């Protein structure tokens, strides 16, 4: 507590984790909870405290979000097409119904508790689906000549995105930037809760932001966490998100300690 009696602590950013269940030589089939370390590293470079969550039930999702100041959604499995009322496409990749259920609960809670949310790749796609949008189950269904599953190492940018002037993401990246790309799915119909703010040159939506100014929710299709060591602008995305969370904490009368 500081002299004015307000709670004072570093912003807590929760990261719903993934569960490794397949056999690997290292873990010998033991299920392992995990998240890509780039998210943790990027957040530790700010004044935030990252917390990785195990896949849990919906009641816990509510309690985790109550503890959190911000939410970061990571990449991973394909979103179950069942969630947008489609049958599985021949090219659908592995899905995790348990992760879908838990992260859906996290996203809805973050929205209703008005906690800032940054969603990457699968998280970006799931956030769109949770609020009524849908996906291309495989980008082969779209006429694109752009490679969205890059064969170049994943810490290298491959395709350009144009960003909407005045958007939050353009404050980080400017109006055009080159990003990495590791997705075979993409946003088809956009949820009415969001507006598109970034596109690749084939017209695919690569960035979205909440329509409601009081609701800080940002999603992006690329993987900034894999580029933080090769491109300082990718780290500055996380810096900007944590700054947004700090400001939100002040509005909620929690003083972030620097």
* Closer residue to Mn ion (CB): 35 or 181: 181
Q: How far is the CB of 155 from Mn ion (least distance, A)?
A: 15
Stretch that binds Mn ion, among 40-48, 62-70, 107-115, 141-149 (CB under 5 A): 141-149
Q: Are 135 and 185 in contact (CB under 8 A)?
A: yes
Catalytic residue among 109, 121, 159, 209: 121
Measured distance CA(78)–CA(92) in Å, rounded:
7
The secondary structure of the chain, three-state, reads: CCCCCCCEECCEEEEECEEECCCCCCCCCCCEEECCHHHHHHHHCCCCEEEEECCCCHHHHHHHHHHCCEEEECCCCECCHHHHCCCCCCCCCCECHHHHHHHHHHHHHHHHCCCCEEEECHHHHHHHHHCCCCEECCHHHCCCCCCCECCCCCCCCCEEEEECCCCHHHHHHCCEEEECCECCCEECCCCCCEEEEEEECCCCEEEEEECCCCCCEEEECCCHHHCCCCCHHHHHHHHHHHHHHHHHHHHCCCEECC
Which position's Cβ is nearest Mn ion?
A: 181
At closest approach, how far in Å is the CB of 75 from Mn ion? 12
Name the one range near Mn ion by CB under 5 A: 67-75, 90-98, 125-133, 140-148. Answer: 140-148
181 in contact with Mn ion (CB under 5 A)? yes
State the minimum distance, in angstroms, from the CB of residue 181 to Mn ion.
Answer: 3
Q: How many residues bind Mn ion (CB under 5 A)?
A: 2
Stretch that binds Mn ion, among 42-50, 119-127, 136-144, 179-187 (CB under 5 A): 179-187
Q: Which of 148, 188, 216, 223 binds Mn ion (CB under 5 A)?
A: 148
- Residue closer to Mn ion by CB (options 51, 142) is 142
Between CA 131 and CA 141 the distance in angstroms is: 23
Closest approach of Mn ion to the CB of residue 222, in Å: 6
Please say if 225 is a catalytic residue.
yes
Q: Is 87 a catalytic residue?
A: no
Does position 180 bind Mn ion by CB under 5 A?
A: no
Q: Which residue number, 220 or 240, has a Cβ lying nearer to Mn ion? A: 220
Residues 64 to 123: which contact Mn ion by CB under 5 A?
A: none
For 197, phi and psi rounded to 5 degrees?
Answer: -130, -5
Q: Is 121 a catalytic residue?
A: yes
Of 12-20, 21-29, 148-156, 168-176, the segment contacting Mn ion by CB under 5 A is 148-156
The contact set with Mn ion (CB under 5 A) reads 148, 181
Q: Which residues are catalytic?
A: 121, 223, 225
């Amino acid at each position: 507590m500081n002299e004015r009696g307000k709670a004072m602590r570093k912003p807590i950013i929760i990261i719903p984790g993934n569960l490794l269940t397949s056999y690997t030589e290292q873990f010998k089939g033991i299920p392992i909870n995990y998240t890509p370390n780039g998210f943790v590293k990027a957040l530790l470079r700010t004044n935030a405290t990252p917390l990785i969550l195990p896949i849990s039930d919906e009641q816990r999702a509510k309690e985790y979000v109550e503890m959190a100041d911000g939410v970061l959604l990571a990449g991973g499995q394909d979103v179950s097409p069942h969630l947008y009322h489609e049958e599985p496409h021949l090219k659908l990749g592995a899905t995790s119904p348990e992760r879908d259920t838990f992260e859906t609960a996290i996203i809805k809670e973050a929205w209703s508790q008005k906690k800032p949310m940054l969603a990457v790749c699968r998280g970006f796609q799931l956030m769109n689906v949770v609020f009524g949008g849908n996906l291309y189950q495989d980008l082969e269904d779209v006429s694109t000549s752009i490679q969205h599953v890059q064969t170049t190492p994943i810490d290298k940018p491959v395709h350009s995105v144009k960003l909407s002037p005045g958007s939050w993401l353009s404050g980080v990246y400017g109006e055009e930037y080159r990003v990495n790309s590791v997705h075979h799915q993409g946003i088809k119909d956009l949820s009415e809760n969001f507006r598109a703010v970034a596109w690749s040159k084939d017209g695919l939506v690569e960035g979205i932001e909440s329509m409601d100014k009081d609701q800080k929710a940002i999603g992006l299709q690329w993987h900034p966490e894999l580029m933080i060591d090769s491109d300082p602008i990718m780290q500055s995305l996380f810096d900007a998100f944590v700054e947004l969370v700090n400001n939100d904490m002040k509005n909620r009368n929690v003083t972030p300690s620097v």
